[in-house]
Amino acid sequence: MDATLIDGKDAGGRSRVPRRRWAWVIALGSSAILVGMAAHFSPAGPPAAVPAAGIVTGDDVIGLAPAARQWRFVKLGVAGQAAAGWTDPVPGRISIDETMASKLGSPLPGHVSGVFVELGERVRAGDPLFSVRSSDIAELWAGKEKAEVDLEAARTTFERVHATVASRALPAKEEIGAHQQVRQAELALKLAEAKLGSLHVVSQGGNEFTVTSPRTGVVVEKAVLLGQQVTPEGAAALMVVADLSSVWVLADLFEGQAVDVRVGTAAQITSPATPDVTLGGKVEMVSSIVDPARHTVPVRIRLANAQGLLRPNVYARVRLATAPQSPAAVEIAASAIVTDGARQYVYVQDPQGRFARRTVVTGPAHEGRVVVLEGLARGETVVEEGAILLDNQLALSK
């Protein structure tokens, strides 16, 4: 305490507050002012959503007043009977007809000593494709030659024994034994020839053989190089020769698009490579398994390709004929469909004029229309345009 203060008074008898007490009073007052300012300027949080004028929302139901400005963006339509037609184009690709293709490899281990064709080249049945130098082929040839020598020796022995038995110098059983040796030598030669024949190669002896084309067609795959080491156990084919007079068109349909597709469904195929040509075919395979990653269903169409207009790996566009399998199927504008990723739904007008959100199951789409298989009845009124606007208003009201 200040030495000049006596019982809180100065030398002149006036009351005074100690300096340390003044500091405490000032600090306390400043804190109170800051607290008051903080309370006055604290954020009040986001303002509550105010429904747009003329809109009344409920549980998955929304109503628009007759004068609501949102009507300018809303267009209504009536669900009608689904009609036959063609789907919108889906992407596809041209592929070889695997029933008319041959995958070729090396039947024996060795090293490639020659390659005689290139990718995309036309070949005839029997044309040489590539040659391989292998010690195994030399062993097979040696086995065949040995079998030939053994057979010749067995026949010579049989003739000698036969003549001796005829002169009664040997018993008849000796002739039987010699004949058995001839039969065994013949079987050994047939086995050696069968081993060589099963290779389906051309060889003139020695340690080299040539793989030839088993069919007339085009080399559509080539994975062989000069000097390359090859084995029969190789997973990939060294060459693929395919007859392109028939090709496959492969397309992936989403689950909803594949509902009405069956074996025999008519198809129209066009390609950017031949924009003025439309080819017709029929679906010959619809996969029974859905791709787990893409959730698509592969379908296959066979096309005659005698003129060679369609080449493997070319992009194509596929349209499929639609014929509703259920008489309850209806058709609406594709723009009426709203999806949240897990389900599809539409907004249906009820007798009170409100719009209720309803889950539906859709089929194929075509020319801006989509078939609804479940969830909608013929004659019901739906929002064809502006469904997204209603969906957003419902989301804001929650």
CATH class, domain 102-133+208-241, is: mainly beta
Output the pLDDT for position 31.
Answer: 47
Output the pLDDT for position 167.
Answer: 81
The CA dihedral of 381, 387, 390, 395, to the nearest 10 degrees, is 130
The residue extents of the domains of the chain are: 1-41, 56-83+326-397, 90-97+244-321, 102-133+208-241, 135-206
Output the pLDDT for position 201.
Answer: 85
In which element (H, E) is residue 25 found?
Answer: helix 19-41
Tokens of 307: 């003129």
Output the pLDDT for position 316.
Answer: 93
Output the pLDDT for position 58.
Answer: 76
Output the pLDDT for position 24.
Answer: 41
In the beta sheet, which residues pair with residue 296? 254
**pTM, entire model:** 0.61
Asked if 51 and 57 count as a contact pair (C-beta separation under 8 A), the reply is: yes
Output the pLDDT for position 204.
Answer: 67
Q: What is the 8-class DSSP label of residue 343? A: -
- CATH number corresponding to 56-83+326-397: 2.40.420.20
CATH class, domain 90-97+244-321, is: mainly beta
DSSP per-residue letters across 145-183: HHHHHHHHHHHHHHHHHHHHHHTTSS-HHHHHHHHHHHH
Run means of pLDDT, 10 residues per run, the chain, 398 residues: 45 49 45 44 49 70 80 87 82 94 92 94 95 89 88 90 82 86 91 82 83 94 94 86 95 82 90 85 92 90 89 92 76 89 88 88 81 88 89 78
Q: Which of 256, 274, 331, 320 is nearest to 88 (CA)?
A: 320
Architecture, CATH, for domain 135-206? Orthogonal Bundle (1.10)
The span from the CA of 301 to the CA of 269, in Å, is 9
